Structure 1
């Protein structure tokens, strides 16, 4: 009787381990910020809102077209991430770049900018149509980073992270977006969140 009870306990423990191994509970986030509502225009001059992205996992960053330092490598890295997500067959993943220089970044300029990066624009929106104060406050509140004009310059200082947003519109994780981008980790995290 004792042996049978021990075997039942061992089988039950094994089943629980297998179930735990198959779940997505091992996702480790480093942020927990509910995105504030927004509605802006993209590179095709079409409205894109937080509501449009609900139910999708998406990755966001901050860029501007006149950037002479970090934005070109960040955009190249985002295009590479988009490609890897597609190769993995992960569905319902979106990419969003918020312009930190909305005064100059018209939809037309954003359209031209993204054309250099071999990106799939069906799943990538570059947003503008707000003012500088808005994006400064938006970046600080949502992404907990800066988006401020550089003194005596036409450049803007801003964060260089990629931000992972879950299906509910909550920012759950940030990663290096400029150098040493952890592509495999981001793809795995996206996969886990899309399967939840």
Structure 2
């Protein structure tokens, strides 16, 4: 009788403890991001080491974008406010320019200021070659970035990417329309 009671207690304890464990991110991936060297909007150097230990959201934008980038940046501005309102700490936003020949740090700063960006936890980066960002996006994010020979509009996706404290992409979300803000916040909390 005592042995049976102990088995029941052990099984119940295991179930309770497993229920208290960290929730998993639904449909998670595990894509490590290779180190990179870039220049921030304030002309300072920036790389993967600057994000170590932080949960971050990244996207790909450019300042002369005629269609998707302004709404994406506006959506990230809303997410930035939600992060602050939720009291989440050690969360960063990183926007990679896909048109680094045009998007100087000064141009990125002016662009971001139009959206009321708080630079305390949002970094806009440039300072690399067009070839670099096209390869970096494809190899790390599995995302297409391509600047055509003609015109000034760069082809790129509209996803937001959740990255963990070790620099591994965990999930992507639509960053243009129907942005799942609550899901992103919940997934950030899960990583913390």
**Normalising by the residue count of structure 2, what TM-score does the alignment of the two structures yield?**
0.94
In structure 2, the gaps of 5 or more residues are none
Distance 1:86 1:131, change over 3 A: same
The answer on 1:160 being equivalent to 2:165 is no
Matched residues in 1 for 2:176 and 2:38: separation?
A: 25
- Structure 1 portions without partners, runs of 5+: none
CA distance in structure 1 between the aligned counterparts of 2:61 and 2:172, rounded to whole angstroms: 15
Q: Distance in 1 between matches of 2:14 and 2:120?
A: 41
Structure 2 residue matching 1:163: 3-state secondary structure: strand
Distance 1:146 1:174 in 2: 14
Q: Secondary structure at the match of 2:81?
A: helix
Partner of 1:113, secondary structure, is helix
Counterpart Cα distance in 2 of 1:131 and 1:157: 16
1:74 to 72, 75, 85: 72
- State the superposition RMSD in angstroms: 1.5
- Runs of 4+ with >3 A deviation: 4-11
8 Å contact from structure 2 (residues 62, 69) kept in 1: yes
Report what 1:48 is aligned to: 46
Following superposition, the deviation at residue 17 of structure 1 comes to 2.6
TM superposition shift of 1:13 = 2.9
- Secondary structure of 1:121's counterpart equals coil
Secondary structure (helix, strand or coil) at the match of 2:120 reads helix
Q: Equivalent residues in 2 for 1:79-158 (5 A)?
A: 79-150=77-148, 152-158=150-156
